[in-house]
Amino acid sequence: MGEEGLKLLSFWSSPYACRARLALDLKGLRYDLQEEDLFNAKSALLLESNPVHKKIPVLIHNGKAICESMNIVEYVDEVWPDRGTGFLLPRDDAFARATARFWADFFLSLTAASFKAAISSGEEKERANDEMIQDMVALERFLESQGGVFFSGSNTSMGFVDIAASFLPWWIPTYTEIGRLRVPGPDTCPLLHRWIAAVKDSPEAKPAFPDQQELLDFTKVRFEDVKKRFAQ
Ligand SMILES: N[C@@H](CCC(=O)N[C@@H](CS)C(=O)NCC(=O)O)C(=O)O
């Protein structure tokens, strides 16, 4: 068990698990990592800790289970507000917190559009790809309004929205390569590209995220399975 009685039930290529790991790493918290076998045999601990969805990530803190990636991020921020790089959700500003939660939710739309664009074909693919591009341009505008390198508004520390968005630097290139997608380049989204480089470079993100090539190889096989299931 980690120093704070923390254990994370995880899966290496899950962007949701990576969010939880990034939050724990930003706080400088040590934790045990339990890698789950999601496809063959979920552990008894996972099934009893998240009986509703049976999904990772689950953070277990002194025997209590916290489910859902962004819920874990908020929990960690509430319990250890001043640890590591500091608070993740803006303090003393309800409007800034509401705005951060709005943009954190917004990534569901981008994730869904990019996944759909990557696995579909024809008109459906083009529509989903257009939606993904629009979402990325919307993010560029939000980032511009924040005034820093990160969505937190800071030039040095990531916050709640950066963690929510953290799948983007690893998964968008993966989906783009596999699905031959169109993505807005640095001319259209310069701040988003600067943000991607800064996240990939951050010492806290590196250990939390998969190797790009391993992720690509794994995702290729997974997408083939998904396509076969859709074709049946
Ligand atoms: N909304 C959840 C999504 C978690 C999720 O989809 N986890 C996947 C791995 S990427 C999972 O555990 N899948 C196992 C299953 O569906 O049986 C979160 O944010 O934590």
Distance 40 CA to ligand 1 centre (A): 15
Distance 204 CA to ligand 1 centre (A): 22
Task: Give me the pLDDT at residue 228, please.
Answer: 81
Residue with tokens 């803190």: 61
Residue ranges, the chain, pLDDT below 50: none
Distance 14 CA to ligand 1 centre (A): 8
How far apart CA 147 and CA 155 sit, in angstroms, is 9
**Domain assignment of residue 182, yes or no:** yes
**Domain assignment of residue 86, yes or no:** no
Can you spell out the DSSP letters for 68-108?
SHHHHHHHHHHHSTTSTT--SSPSS-HHHHHHHHHHHHHHH
Question: Does ligand 1 lie within 6 Å of residue 38's CB atom?
Answer: yes
Question: Does ligand 1 lie within 6 Å of residue 11's CB atom?
Answer: yes
**Domain assignment of residue 122, yes or no:** yes
Task: Give me the pLDDT at residue 2, please.
Answer: 56
Task: Give me the pLDDT at residue 158, please.
Answer: 97
Calculate the average pLDDT of the chain.
95
Question: Does ligand 1 lie within 6 Å of residue 56's CB atom?
Answer: yes
| Sheet with strand 6-10: strands edge to edge | 32-35, 6-10, 58-61, 64-67
Question: Does ligand 1 lie within 6 Å of residue 14's CB atom?
Answer: yes
Task: Give me the pLDDT at residue 3, please.
Answer: 62
User: Considering 52, 79, 106, which residue would you say is the last residue of a domain?
Assistant: 79
Q: Which atom of ligand 1 is nearest to the CA of 15?
A: 10
Provide the domain count of the chain: 2
Distance 189 CA to ligand 1 centre (A): 29
- For residue 175, what is the domain's CATH number? 1.20.1050.10
Task: Give me the pLDDT at residue 10, please.
Answer: 98
Note whether 114 and 196 are same-domain residues.
Answer: yes
Give the pLDDT confidence of 141-195 residue by residue, as tens digits.
999 999 999 999 999 999 999 999 999 999 999 999 999 999 999 999 999 999 9
Distance 78 CA to ligand 1 centre (A): 23
Q: Which domain holds residue 147?
A: 94-231
